[in-house]
Amino acid sequence: MRLIVSIPTTNRPNIVVPTVLDIARQKRFPDLVIVVVARADDIDAHKIADLPFPVCIVQSERGSCIQRNTALSMLHEEDVLLYLDDDFLMAPDYLANLEHLFKSRTDVVMATGTVLADGIHGPGISHLRGLEMVSRTAPTTTPEITDVYNCYGCNMALRAAPALLDKILFDTRLKLYAWLEDVDFSRQLAAHGRIVRSSNLLGVHLGTKVGRSSGLRVGYSQIANPLYLHRKGTMAFYRALNIMCRNLASNFVRSFNSEPEIDRLGRLKGNLHAFGDLARGRINPENVARFE
């Protein structure tokens, strides 16, 4: 079994390089790291040239789902692939524990870790602060394994065999800001085994705001993507409705006193554009491409 790490990244070279370098702190090195970029200047290859594990930089069309599929296409059936966001830092024993999980629990097809802190819900967490948090974690000998509905996209691992044999891919209709692609992919793999969260796969999601999608695009996706996944059959209607209502209410209320790091008014406008398209019968996740 090869343990492979893949990091899709776009327009965040100063974010992804420290993340790749930090993998050298792992007690168990990956057999390969695949960094999937949209442009050659998305990463400085010279800065990651002397690591104690192989790193492969691959270029593909821009888009989280397309870039994730590029990594999938490079796998063998016996592999385990861990997807990391370009701003996710692992505790030093993360990969060792991940390997043990997939070797000891053959019924598990996907696994996600326990996020100690998630900067996506605020102004973000500095790289130094994130390192401090993951460095002081205590090792656990008896992890708690919990079945979950879906993995969290910032750190999710999968067995390659069922994905390759059943031709399960990330849905490229979820363009650019591929919100909920982790739910869609998880629910497709759920037919092949358990999806779990482990208490000893620890990490910090920095939630760095540099290079993220516009408020309009995020807001449109907050409505269009749940509806699309419901029609596709990978999300129950009550879940889609709950997500849409929660985001619409949050964007409306907070647009009057928005957080500095979040374009709430832009998201609200995106929500309204999506409802307008829904009323006209032309709502699709690809429509985000028309917004700047």
Nearest residue to 60 via CA among 159, 157, 172, 208: 172
How far is residue 16 CA from its own chain's centroid?
A: 14
- 285 pLDDT higher than 80: yes
Average pLDDT over the chain, rounded to whole? Answer: 94
pLDDT range class, residue 124, cuts 50, 70, 90: very high
Q: Report pTM.
A: 0.94
Q: List, for residues 199-230, the tens digit of each pLDDT value.
A: 999 999 999 877 566 889 999 999 999 999 99
Angstrom distances, CA of residue 93 to CA of 14, 20, 26 = 25, 16, 6
Report the pLDDT value the prediction gives residue 122, as an integer from 0 to 100: 84
Q: List, for residues 14-72, the tens digit of each pLDDT value.
A: 999 999 999 999 999 999 999 999 999 999 999 999 999 999 999 999 999 999 999 99
